[in-house]
Amino acid sequence: MKIGDKLRRLRLQRGLTQAELADRCELSKSFISLLERDLTSPSLDTLSDLLETLGSDLPTFFREKDERMVFGEEDIFVKEDPEGMKGMIKWLVPSAQKNQMEPILVEMAPGGETSELGPHEGEEFGYVLSGAIKIVLGDRTERARKDESFCIRPTAPHKLVNAGKGVCRVLWVSTPPSF
């Protein structure tokens, strides 16, 4: 395991320079620099002292896993034409069900519509990337066009309907995850 980058991030989060960290741990600035570049390894005692100075400890330091921030095409799950919607849904973040929000990309041909979702806690946000949609929330219907957004509290059954003559694309985010 490369620990240099994790040590560097902890140091920067605490607002310390390499020299300040070195002084607090009675080490040299050059040793801290070598550690952060993974050009040397500390003893367990030295690492423990460094982590204590940085407000952490050995179990926490080694248990924490860096969360991924960027996802590419290979990470996207695609479901084509679910329940006859004349389009596809792309889940943009793998395992988003574990997160507090779930972003999807909805693409629908003319006449397409998403399946109706039941009422649930939370909020939903959408941004129309292309085309035009109708947002149906219970007995209320609103229209949104390209470069417009919507925000709803899904207190009633709701769905999106392609309201245009071409393909529509909508970035749709639900919190908590519900798709």
For the chain, give every domain's residue range. 4-63, 73-175
Is 73-175 assigned to CATH 3.10.20.90? no
Q: Which helix (H) or strand (E) holds 161?
A: strand 158-162
pTM score > 0.75 for this model? Answer: no
Give the percent of the chain with pLDDT over 90: 72
pLDDT digits (tens, 9 = 90+) for 65-95: 667 788 888 888 898 887 778 999 999 988 7
CA atoms within 13 A on the CB side of 148: 12
Class level of CATH domain 4-63: mainly alpha
C-alpha span between 116 and 43 (Å, rounded): 59
Q: What are 55's two structure tokens?
A: 């407000």
The yes-or-no answer to whether 4-63 and 73-175 have a common fold is no
Do 114 and 174 touch, CB atoms closer than 8 A?
no
